[in-house]
Amino acid sequence: TIFNFGSINIDHVYSVDHFVRPGETMTSDHYQKILGGKGANQSVALAKAGCNVVHVGAISKQDTHLLAELEAKGVNTEQIATLDLPTGHAIIQVNKSAENAIVLFPGANHALNAPQIEQVLANAGKNDWVLLQNETNEIDTIIATAKAHGLTLVYNPAPMDKSQVEKHLGDIDLLIVNEVEAMDLAGADNVEDAQARLRAQHPDLQILMTLGAEGVRYLNGDTITETPAFKVEAVDTTAAGDTFIGYALAGFTNDLSVEEVLKQACAASAICVTRKGASTAIPDHKEVSQFLKE
Ligand code: ADP
């Protein structure tokens, strides 16, 4: 089982001619409401990859349809609290050049508490894994509790908060970052320097660095494994990283070889970028096997 301590958001996506200016009221001609949040997307990717995933988080008690939606995608929702708080949500404007401007309200995503975290992990088995991102509160408690229970810890520190993340690099087993996050964290202005610094400072830390259309690099001790991305026509890269993470952890927990893990995760995220949307763009494992046969 993978316990994913993660955000659940409702993304309100508005197409606009330009980003709204101070004092301006603007009409949007297209609106979409989508289940999002890095946490929820990663849980969906894990479930679609065939993993047993328990999502730990919170939403408003008025939005219980989200539980049904996550369950339909295969996510265990028993540890999602329903509270008297708004569900985390994002107001997203997308302009004609496909750039976005986002207002994020964390709401219930910041309502995790230490007793809940302890209660969830007290029942975890020895071979269970814990995954977290940076979109919930209580990051320190989640990491300390998982460590105290001897669980394998995977941290995807997005959005990046350098001082918060640095203090945990000695506690976690696997760090998953994209290029920008790796450079921010290492205080470097290119990927090679970032990699060299992180490896020098934390030789025991396994690092998965996703490099967008370039592919991915996995650093484990002295071994570096690099896998190129698949060449596809990208239409929307939302949730590419989340898809990658779900499939990579599914592969690792199923004891696949590193090469096979990276290939499957690259294939799944390549399919994701050819589709519009976030959680709806994440393929299931049958689609990934089919893609790899073609
Ligand atoms: P994030 O979405 O977190 O910024 P990346 O952009 O690094 O993450 O993408 C994650 C993975 O998705 C990459 O390692 C790659 O395998 C795949 N990917 C991303 N963009 C493309 C693309 N244009 N073509 C094919 N694969 C892609």
Tens of pLDDT, residue by residue over 276-291, are 888 889 999 999 999 9
Q: Give 94 Cα–ligand 1 centroid separation in angstroms.
A: 20
- Rounded to an integer, the average pLDDT of 158-171 is 96
Whether the Cβ atoms of residue 147 and residue 127 lie closer than 8 Å to each other:
no
Q: Of 139-143, 236-240, 253-257, give the lowest mean pLDDT range.
A: 236-240
What per-residue confidence (pLDDT) applies to 216?
Answer: 98
- Rounded to an integer, the average pLDDT of 12-20 is 95
Tens of pLDDT, residue by residue over 188-241, are 999 999 999 999 999 999 999 999 999 999 999 999 999 999 999 999 888 999
Q: Give 86 Cα–ligand 1 centroid separation in angstroms.
A: 31
DSSP-assigned letters across all residues of 30-55: EEEEEEE-HHHHHHHHHHHTT--EEE
What per-residue confidence (pLDDT) applies to 98?
Answer: 81
CA proximity to 277, closest of 78, 41, 101: 41
Helices 114-122 and 139-148: crossing angle in degrees, nearest 10, is 30
What per-residue confidence (pLDDT) applies to 43?
Answer: 98
Q: Domain 2-8+37-86+107-293 sits in which CATH superfamily?
A: Ribokinase (3.40.1190.20)
What per-residue confidence (pLDDT) applies to 168?
Answer: 97
Pocket of ligand 1 (CB under 6 A): 178, 210-213, 215-216, 229-230, 232, 234, 237, 240-241, 244, 266, 269-270, 273
Phi, psi of 89 (to 5 degrees): -150, 160
Q: Which of 210, 218, 247 to mutate to test the pocket of ligand 1 (most atoms within 8 A of CB)?
A: 210
Q: Which amino acid is at 149?
A: H
Residue 255 appears among annotated catalytic residues = no
DSSP-assigned letters across all residues of 70-121: HHHTT-EEEEEEEESSPPEEEEEEE-TTS-EEEEEE-GGGG---HHHHHHHH
Q: Which atom of ligand 1 is nearest to the CA of 180?
A: 4
pLDDT-derived band at 175 (thresholds 50, 70, 90) equals very high
Cα(226)–Cα(215) distance, rounded to whole angstroms? Answer: 8
Q: Is the ipTM of this complex over 0.95?
A: yes
- Rounded to an integer, the average pLDDT of 96-119 is 94
Known binding-site residue numbers for K(+): 236, 238, 272, 275, 277
Query: Looking at the DSSP assignment, which residues form a beta bridge with residue 33?
Result: 12
What per-residue confidence (pLDDT) applies to 45?
Answer: 98
- Rounded to an integer, the average pLDDT of 34-50 is 97
Q: What is the percentage of the chain residues whose pLDDT exceeds 70?
A: 100
Protein residue with its CA nearest to atom 5 in ligand 1: 212
Bin 171: left if φ > 0, else alpha if -120 < ψ < 50, else beta.
alpha
The answer, yes or no, to whether residue 99 has pLDDT greater than 90, is: no
- Residue 206 buriedness (CB in 10 A; 0-12 / 13-18 / 19+): middle
The answer, yes or no, to whether residue 261 has pLDDT greater than 90, is: yes
Q: Give 79 Cα–ligand 1 centroid separation in angstroms.
A: 30
Q: Which of 184, 233, 244, 288 to mutate to test the pocket of ligand 1 (most atoms within 8 A of CB)?
A: 244
- What average pLDDT does the structure give for the chain? 96
Q: Give 48 Cα–ligand 1 centroid separation in angstroms.
A: 18
What per-residue confidence (pLDDT) applies to 123?
Answer: 87
For residues 91, 94, 98, 101, the Cα torsion angle rounded to the nearest 10 degrees is -50
Whether the Cβ atoms of residue 53 and residue 127 lie closer than 8 Å to each other:
no
pLDDT-derived band at 172 (thresholds 50, 70, 90) equals very high
Q: Which candidate in 140, 242, 255, 284 is catalytic?
A: 242
- Residue burial 172-187, b: 16+ Cβ < 10 Å; e: rest: bbbbbbbbebbbbbbe
